[in-house]
Amino acid sequence: MSKPVEPNKPLVTHIYTADPSAHVFEGKIYIYPSHDIDHDGPSNDNGDQYAMEDYHVLSLDDFDSPCVDHGRVLHVRDVPWASKQMWAPDAAYKNGTYYLYFPARDHDGIFRIGVATGSSPAGPFKPQPHYIPGSFSIDPAVLVDEDGRAYMYFGGLWGGQLEKWQTGTFNPDAKGPAPHEPALGPRFAELTDDMLAFKAPPREISIVDEDGRPILAGDEERRYFEGPWVHKYNGYYYLSYSTGTTHSIVYAMSKKPEGPFVFKGKILTPVIGWTTHHSIVEFRGKWYLFYHDASLSGGVDHLRCVKYTELHYNDDGTIRTIDPYG
């Protein structure tokens, strides 16, 4: 008989998983991770080591239950516009439909964001024939607000190509801002009512310090790198993200879904492996952080495993820092 999952232990060990997006659907926790595969390709800042080609869906009845793998729900060969690298996905529910949002390279090698639909949170999902018009970069995260409006947050540096889009069109030779200039922020777009397109062109989110000054590109302890996630708690929107080179999950707060967001601090200290990517979800009155590390593979950066731990707020709404190995 399968054992219940334990905090800070891999949810599954029969496959490598990463980039978990967790949601409560139909009274259960559903996790939408990327699916790492082993290969002999190169490892570089372009992210070629992350050669994922399909998605599985995981679920938990509760934290006293084993984690169920519902199997493959979408493969890159099913997506007409995509060529490779099915990176970190997310899911949402609206209109009686489940939506799976995912990045992949198109046939020109440019990252775009696609959407697939299904009638069950466990999949399978049928992709739309084209990527979302006006989409680019990676790491889509979708928030369906209490009023029914839905917002997508996305973007990642380096392999995620965010710095290539500073002019609004793709420039393969573009560099990021200088260290003394404001850092690039994630992108934000409200979704149309059918959840399949943007209502308007994406715009950049501003992340500022307590005095309203932009976080600078050289501030690698605080600046945005990739992996945005937005959740709500006590009337505030919390934008959390990976700092990339300094390997932390940090967060900022705002009263508006589009920001600006005021930087507050660190949620998760560095894990085994280079990347860190997470989600935050409430389940039965408690809050949980889902994340990954490379412990299952002994530190091989592109062979990761999804984990979870409980998350706690302070009385002022700030989040207590978590040491995953403490």
Active site residues: 19, 226
For 20, the token pair is: 């978990």
Between CA 118 and CA 14 the distance in angstroms is 25
Burial (CB count <10 Å: 0-12, 13-18, 19+), residue 200: exposed
Question: Alpha-carbon distance 135 to 119, whole Å?
Answer: 24
Angle CA 114–111–15, to nearest 5: 75
Long-range contacts: 199-205, Cβ < 8 Å, 24+?
201/134, 201/168, 202/134, 202/135, 202/152, 202/154, 203/258, 205/153, 205/239, 205/258, 205/259, 205/260, 205/261
Amino acid (one-letter) located at 171? N
Distance CA 37, CA 52 (A): 6
